[in-house]
Amino acid sequence: MAMRPPAGTRSRQLLSSLWTPERLVRVLAPADDWKPFPPASARDGWQALPSAVRESLLSAGARHKGSPWEPIPATLFLEFVRKGNRSDFEHVQFERRTQLRELVVAECVEGKRRFLDDIANGIWATCEETFWGVPAHLDMQKRGTGLPDVTEPVIDLFAAETASLIAWSIYLCGTQLDTVHPLVRDRGVFEVERRILAPYREREDFWWMGLGDGAAPRVNNWNPWINSNCLTCTLLMDRNPERRARTVYKVMRSLDRFLDSYGADGGCDEGPSYWGRAGASLFDCLELLYSSTAGQAEFYSLPLVREIGRYIYRAHICDDWFLNIGDGPARMQPDGRLVFRCGRRIDDSKLQRLGAYFGQRQSTDPEDEKSIGRQLATLFDSETLGQAAPGQPLVRDVWLPDLQVMTGRRREGSRDGFYLAAQGGHNGKSHNHNDVGNFVVYADGRPALIDVGVETYTAKTFSNERYQIWTMQSGYHNLPTVNGVMQAPGQEYAARDVTYQADDAGATFRLDIAAAYPPEAGLVHWTRLLRLDRVKNQIELRDAWQLNKPGGRFSLSLMTACNVTQPGSGELLLAGGPLSPTTVRLLFDANLVFAVEEIAADDPRLRSVWGGPLRRILLKAENLPARGEQAIRILQV
């Protein structure tokens, strides 16, 4: 069975093999000539925006007129190490970035210099900040977390995102800002160079780069997300052609390491919510390369790039429900405008339809986009989206052999009946949960058996205490706990003997999950078979085990947001609850002991998805023979 490239593989140079710095310097548009979007001084472009969009953008900026830029105190930084809280600081910082972005765009729309003092204050205040990233990422610096060390600039997600905001602000309003004072622009250029561009050029040991001695064996969404912002900064701000070309080439080399982390199926092991900052950030990078070289650096025809783009509709269940893996939520709305643009570039009609479906349902005013580069792309491409035909592809069968994820629904293009998804893989994924062999079931497009997702991030989430959090544990996925032992974290804890087959009659997924458990579980084999029967519209779960000795026990967990009732022995009904799914019936061996636990799920992140309490169904058996099996049938009532 195919798997994604192993850690440390250096199998591809898909981008950098096609270019050299010497060739790039000949094709890159000079910084002063590259005009990807109209600056504020180009009035025709901004005045051509629809009047409703212009009014909304002006209103968003006007609410910040005269607003103060309060300093960020040291004690707010320290909340992360003192309390494990990362939300308070991030709320303050992100609001500051929103304030500056909305002021800049409002000035571009209006063009009357009404917002220039506020923009100058915002750029100046941002440049006065000690660190542009967030406290949770300060472990990148040698002195560790707590307070930032100004002698060691480090590049995390939000430092790079802030630098991009400064770069776009100067590109859009730089000439006008000179009327406030020329040093505003100069200060912004200086700080972007000091904090971001110089460290990017000089260092290769940032783990997310995938380069040098400090490289991670496999990178994640940090790689294209940060690279997209560093690429933006160098294209907009570096006026040394040779140095600029070398930096662009380094971005290509680093992006190749991101592509190395993918199998040929394009599946994102961080799940669809992270696709927006993984595959979609790769798309941001490719757009910048395409634009700055007048289309000569074109990578959309690469098969892997196309498969990475398609992942988002392959993980789509129905409406705003997606197949969540790891830390991702089950309910989300991807940026439809971005999805549509990606679909157009790779010439995929299903991706364009899904993008139009979400994009046309979302506000036509993209002021809610947190990245100013993406906001600009949407503002000047909204007409094409509005003319596109929306739709939900609702593909019948998906098989991602490298990721070892399958999905199947009763009929192509229909929400009616059952939808089944399951996964193999390993427990060493980015944003990993211990969930080898987990599955979800939806009925008529609504969740019946679920993957809970994750609570609000804290210091504990990304520490050595991660698997003390209940949402990360296999016991809170649709999996067995054997002899009181749950699955263990690490890439070595993986599925074996994975097979998949699909046809008009149904879809079948089989795997052995025994190796996902540590030796204390006493497992030789635990073979799980899941089958979607399209003809009968039912799902069968069959678990067959071999223990290293008789007398063991297991507890099978089944997670749901539905109300659970037991009308009779060996039977459960899932129905009701805030999500109002159709009634689902579970039939199981009457010898299994049934229990149900209610989980309050008061965390805001979980509550926003599930809307109320969750329930863990436990089906228990003791004094097991060394070999045995049990089956569950899942039916719609």
Fold annotation for 397-636: Beta-galactosidase; Chain A, domain 5 (2.70.98)
Please compute the mean of the pLDDT values over residues 210-234 and round it to a whole number.
Answer: 90
pLDDT, one tens digit per residue, over 549-572 is 999 999 999 999 999 999 999 999
Q: Hey, what are 212's tokens?
A: 């040098």
Query: What pLDDT, on a 0 to 100 scale, did the predictor assign at position 382?
Result: 76
Domain with CATH 2.70.98.70 in the chain: 397-636
How much of the chain, in percent, has pLDDT values that exceed 70?
97
State if pTM tops 0.75: yes
Query: What pLDDT, on a 0 to 100 scale, did the predictor assign at position 577?
Result: 73
> If pLDDT is split at 50, 70 and 90, which confidence band does 330 have?
very high
The answer to whether 277 and 225 have CB atoms below 8 angstroms apart is yes
The answer to whether 543 and 526 have CB atoms below 8 angstroms apart is yes
For residue 247, pLDDT beyond 70: yes
Beta strands in 319-404 (DSSP E): 321-322, 397-400
Alpha carbon distance 356, 381 (integer Å): 12
Please compute the mean of the pLDDT values over residues 366-381 and round it to a whole number.
Answer: 83
pLDDT, one tens digit per residue, over 477-534 is 999 999 999 999 999 999 999 999 999 999 999 999 999 999 999 999 999 999 999 9
Please compute the mean of the pLDDT values over residues 425-452 and round it to a whole number.
Answer: 96
For residue 9, pLDDT beyond 60: no
For residue 597, pLDDT beyond 90: yes
**Is residue 504 helix, strand or coil?**
coil
578 vs 61, higher pLDDT? 61
> If pLDDT is split at 50, 70 and 90, which confidence band does 214 have?
low
For residue 4, pLDDT beyond 70: no
Nearest alpha-carbon partner for 84 in 429, 466, 432, 605: 466
Query: What pLDDT, on a 0 to 100 scale, did the predictor assign at position 11?
Result: 57
For residue 620, pLDDT beyond 80: yes
How much of the chain, in percent, has pLDDT values that exceed 90?
92
Query: What pLDDT, on a 0 to 100 scale, did the predictor assign at position 212?
Result: 82
Beta strands in 519-626 (DSSP E): 523-533, 538-547, 552-560, 563-568, 571-575, 584-588, 593-599, 614-624
Q: How far are the Cα atoms of 466, 472, 557, 610 from residue 432, in angstroms, in the given order?
A: 10, 8, 19, 21
For residue 579, pLDDT beyond 70: yes
Query: What pLDDT, on a 0 to 100 scale, did the predictor assign at position 106?
Result: 97
Query: What pLDDT, on a 0 to 100 scale, did the predictor assign at position 368?
Result: 55
Please compute the mean of the pLDDT values over residues 231-251 and round it to a whole number.
Answer: 98
Please compute the mean of the pLDDT values over residues 133-155 and round it to a whole number.
Answer: 96
3-state secondary structure 76-140: HHHHHHHHCCCHHHHHHHHHHHHHHHHHHHHHHHHCCCCCHHHHHHHHHHHHHCCCCCCHHHHHH
Query: What pLDDT, on a 0 to 100 scale, did the predictor assign at position 364?
Result: 58
Query: What pLDDT, on a 0 to 100 scale, did the predictor assign at position 286?
Result: 98
Give the amino acid at 452. V
Please compute the mean of the pLDDT values over residues 49-65 and round it to a whole number.
Answer: 95
Please compute the mean of the pLDDT values over residues 420-428 and round it to a whole number.
Answer: 97
pLDDT, one tens digit per residue, over 285-314 is 999 999 999 999 999 999 999 999 999 999
For residue 47, pLDDT beyond 70: yes
The answer to whether 470 and 435 have CB atoms below 8 angstroms apart is no
pLDDT, one tens digit per residue, over 158-182 is 999 999 999 999 999 999 999 999 9
* Mean of all residue pLDDT scores within the chain: 94
pLDDT, one tens digit per residue, over 176-200 is 999 999 999 999 999 999 999 999 9
> If pLDDT is split at 50, 70 and 90, which confidence band does 39 have?
very high
H helical segments located in 178-240: 182-192, 198-202, 222-237
Query: What pLDDT, on a 0 to 100 scale, did the predictor assign at position 366?
Result: 53
> If pLDDT is split at 50, 70 and 90, which confidence band does 365 have?
low
Query: What pLDDT, on a 0 to 100 scale, did the predictor assign at position 6?
Result: 47
> If pLDDT is split at 50, 70 and 90, which confidence band does 581 have?
low
Query: What pLDDT, on a 0 to 100 scale, did the predictor assign at position 218?
Result: 81
